[in-house]
Amino acid sequence: MNNCINFSLKETIKFLKKNDNYIILTHASPDGDTLGAGYALYYGLKQLGKQVEVVCPDVIPQDYAFFLCETDHVNREGATLVAVDIADKRLLGALQEEFGASIDLNIDHHISNTRYAKALYLDSDASATCEIMYEVLSGLKVKLNDTIAKALYTGISTDTGCFKYSCVTAKTHKIAAALYDYNIEADVINKVMFDTKSKDLLTLERMVLDTAEYHFDDKCMIVTVTADMLKKTGCKGTQLEGITNISRSVDGVLAGVTIKQTDDDTYKISIRTYAPLNASQICVSLGGGGHKNAAAVILKGSLQEVKDKVLCAIKQQMEETNAWTSAAR
């Protein structure tokens, strides 16, 4: 039985004030939101005199170096564990065995959160966990500075596709505007995150486009990234984030699917949808989760078996939502 306690913002702030030693956990294949939220909280808790360590299961891409730093080394015994932007403990990757069953607080914005922590502060209306973290730090009376503001802005910008996705609200823009009071260099951040591609990445994109398949009257597009492609091009980390947007950019496609091979028989499935389809519901049916328009799941099997499972789940939702008759977006 899951005894996860729902925390309010006020309760979250009170909890973070009362303890002294923290380990902040980010998810595997780290993105701007988990890192931005994790390091913003790190800097905030350090201002309050806490001992804090940020732990990531994977190597952190250098694209985020502008807000990273060497954090404390906190003794695991007696430390308070805080997971940020982690909807499911499986996303802890290599850290799951060590920390998965003992997370004290989870701060997240994914509606599909599996409530694995002892306490959860969830705001599924927030565009990013960094949007939530801005309010947490404000409640802690943390004095923002350029570095904290950069971390928060990075998380919000990357999780909203540079403010293009439907999860963006007036509140999102208000928080971003407040961050502009600091020297965040938003143009530089967005160039690095969205507009810079290496020659290797261009080569990978060409390979990926060659795998394109269309299904269900061209309303679903699937592209595949194999381990062999990654080995040939040397692409990894944040370079791959833009790949998931290839299929969602095609006119008329309601479900864009990116299948990335992570092991011999293991694949990470990223699904991007437009109304009336719901990516989160599709991925939850397969054992994953995420947001209404962007979600993911990890599946095992052969590539064809994985494709068949995904297509079956998408077809079922298309039938349930009558997406067959939806006008091209």
* Sequence ranges of the domains in the chain: 5-193, 199-325
Distance (Å, whole) CA 103 – CA 116: 8
Stated pTM of the model: 0.90
- Same topology, domains 5-193 and 199-325? Answer is no
The highest-level CATH class for domain 199-325 is: alpha beta
pLDDT value of residue 34: 97
Contact 75, 21 (CB under 8 A): yes
Q: Using only the alpha carbons of the chain, give its radius of gyration.
A: 20
Distance (Å, whole) CA 107 – CA 34: 10
Mean pLDDT of the chain: 94
pLDDT digits (tens, 9 = 90+) for 252-291: 999 999 999 988 899 999 999 999 999 999 999 999 888 8
The CA-to-CA distance between both ends of the chain, in Å, stands at 43
Q: What are the DSSP E strand ranges found in the chain? A: 5-6, 21-25, 51-55, 80-84, 105-108, 119-122, 213-215, 220-225, 255-263, 266-273, 289-290, 294-300
pLDDT digits (tens, 9 = 90+) for 42-52: 999 999 999 99
| pLDDT surpasses 60 at 189 | yes
> CATH classification of 5-193, choosing from 3.30.465.10, 3.90.1640.10, 2.70.98.20, 1.10.3720.10?
3.90.1640.10
DSSP 218-235: TTEEEEEE-HHHHHHH--
